[in-house]
Amino acid sequence: MPKSWKILCDAPELAAEIRSDADSLGIKVEVELTSDPLKQAIDLLANNRPVSVATHSLPSLEALLSLAKQSHDKQSFSAFALLVQGSSSKAIRELALDLALVAVPTTRALLCAIQLFRTEDPAPWRADIRHLNILDAEHLKPIMHSPKRGGPQLHSEQDFLVEWQNASKTNKVILGRRHECAVAMDAFKQADPFEKDIFAASYQATDIDKQAIRDVLFGPPRALSDPASKAALRPYGLPYGDEEMYTSASRVASEATRIGFPVRIALASPDLRAWDHPDLVANAVDNASRAKEMYQQILAQAQDRAPEARLLGVTVSASHHERALLRVRMSPLADKFVFVQISFADPHGMASEDLTVTFLPAKKDRALKALQRLRGRSLLSDPADPSDPGLQNILNLLEQSACFVNDWREHLQSVEINPVALLLDASIEARELCITVNDSFIKAMDDI
């Protein structure tokens, strides 16, 4: 690793702060001010120059992905500090971690991350902490994992600094103070930047009738109804449960009787979504008379609320109890990647903004890390059982949906599944879908 590490930043105050912190810690870095630090970092990485970025601006997803791929392809490692606050910046940092960028929220943690790279230790979170003082050990103990006997050690030094040492004590690297060291070590552990083939995962090939899907998607920019969206995604194996759409009260009652009570009856409309209008969904309908009544009531309420809305009828499906409701939104990124947003869809989850983001395709362990970042993760699985089938079913749904988004990326703006219901028996249901089609049809017509 080079003795002097370049840090690119986009604000003079930020550059001054990094220089001051580096001098106080005795860390050698070269700080450069630039209007587009990510772009310049990508260029430097192309020439096998390790570089880090500190920015006050939210980067584009494409720029972040390019930075990560360049860093991985060249094995010329990079750390990334995003200093703005808020849920969006937290989500971007989490995405960067999934992309194997050591992403941190402060400049001091960034300097510590650079020092961790300088150790050339692929797993610094396994260092022995027995030589730390009590306070340093308390800060770092929750992050450190399975210390390797006879391996590297962490030591408490003067001025409240933590130092990394190799087993023979021939290589010593000052990391920083305990708090920044804990933040950087945790980011390093989550990112695991020395892992090989981070981007080796691929979509599973599926033998499907593409013409049938093309017939659904073909047309001007628009949001497809839930039944149309489900028709397009059905060949990819998404779990919907037993569900049909009907346009008469008698057919609704007949279908509900066939399925077996209780049933769920929901409005089918591309203009009024169940997630925006929960009163247009009736759960636990328990008899045929009630099914007829709810059909009439739902359509009347919808017509009264939005007279111009397109009302296709209602869908009838079995009513199952769930232990968690998730919202999944996907959109295509460059280089065959898909951006994934996952949050809870129940009122408490939405109010708490419990959200995580990641990218696909990715190895299952990295996708699993994204799910485990949700604060309500205990609703999704048994904490004592990492192979919980509910988690595996959610991961499978994410993979299937991302495969669809990638295959049809030229036609799609986004795909939203809201909610994904995780049932008590660990099975899942994609209850409401919305595919938003982009302007590819209009562009194609313009070219004729």
Stretch among 203-207, 256-260, 308-312 having the lowest mean pLDDT: 203-207
- The average pLDDT across 404-419 equals 96
**Mean pLDDT computed over 379-388:** 74
- What pLDDT does residue 75 have? 81
Give me the DSSP letters along 61-105: HHHHHHHHHHHHHHT---EEEE---SHHHHHHHHHHHHTT-EEES
Would you state the pLDDT for residue 351? 86
Q: At residue 432, does pLDDT exceed 60?
A: yes
pLDDT at 151 over 70: yes
Task: Detail the DSSP E strand segments found in 261-337.
Answer: 263-268, 281-285, 313-318, 322-332
For the chain, give the percent of residues with pLDDT over 70: 97
Whether residue 246 is predicted with pLDDT greater than 90 in this model: the reply is yes
Name the more confident of 445 and 327: 327
pLDDT of residue 74: 83
Half-sphere exposure in the Cβ direction for 45 (13 Å, CA): 26
Read off the pLDDT band of 3 (50, 70, 90): low
Q: What is the pLDDT of residue 364?
A: 87
**Residue 286: per-residue pLDDT:** 95
Task: Please provide the average confidence, as pLDDT, over all residues in the chain.
Answer: 91
159-172 average pLDDT score: 92
DSSP structural state of residue 438: -
Among 61-70, 105-114, 376-385, name the one with the lowest average pLDDT: 376-385
Question: What is d(CA 78, CA 51) in angstroms, rounded to the nearest whole number?
Answer: 5
Which is more confident, 182 or 350? Answer: 182
pLDDT digits (tens, 9 = 90+) for 249-263: 999 999 999 999 999
Cα separation of 181 and 102, whole Å?
A: 13
Instruction: Work out the number of other CB atoms within 10 angstroms of the CB of residue 442.
Output: 12
Does the pLDDT of residue 431 top 60, yes or no? Answer: yes
Res. 448: pLDDT tops 70: no
With beta carbons less than 8 A apart as the criterion, state whether 325 and 394 touch.
no
Q: Are the C-beta atoms of residues 188 and 140 closer than 8 Å to each other?
A: no
Query: How high is the pLDDT of residue 67?
Result: 94
Instruction: Name which of 79-83, 270-274, 298-302, 386-390 the model is least confident about.
Output: 386-390
What is the C-alpha to C-alpha distance for residues 214 and 94, in angstroms, rounded to an integer? 34
3-state class (DSSP) for residue 354: coil
Measured distance CA(238)–CA(242) in Å, rounded:
12
Tell whether the model's pLDDT for residue 206 goes beyond 80: no
Looking only at the bridges linking them, the beta strands covering 263-268 and 281-285 are antiparallel
363: CB partners within 8 A, 6+ apart = 198, 200, 201
Q: Which amino acid is at 343?
A: S
Q: Which residue type sits at 342? A: I
| For range 336-352, the mean pLDDT | 92
| DSSP SS3 for 256 | helix
Inform me whether the pLDDT recorded for 446 exceeds 90. no
Q: For 25-73, what is each residue's pLDDT tens digit? A: 889 999 999 999 999 999 999 888 889 999 999 999 999 999 999 998 8
| Separation between Cα atoms, residue 225 and residue 272, nearest integer Å | 9
Other CB atoms within 10 Å distance of the CB of residue 406: 19
Mean predicted confidence (pLDDT) in 213-225 = 92
d(CA 311, CA 419): 20
Average pLDDT over residues 176-184: 95
Using the predicted structure, report yes or no on whether residue 409 has a pLDDT greater than 60. Answer: yes
Of 84-88, 108-112, 244-248, 393-397, least confident by mean pLDDT is 84-88
Instruction: Over range 13-35, report the average pLDDT.
Output: 93
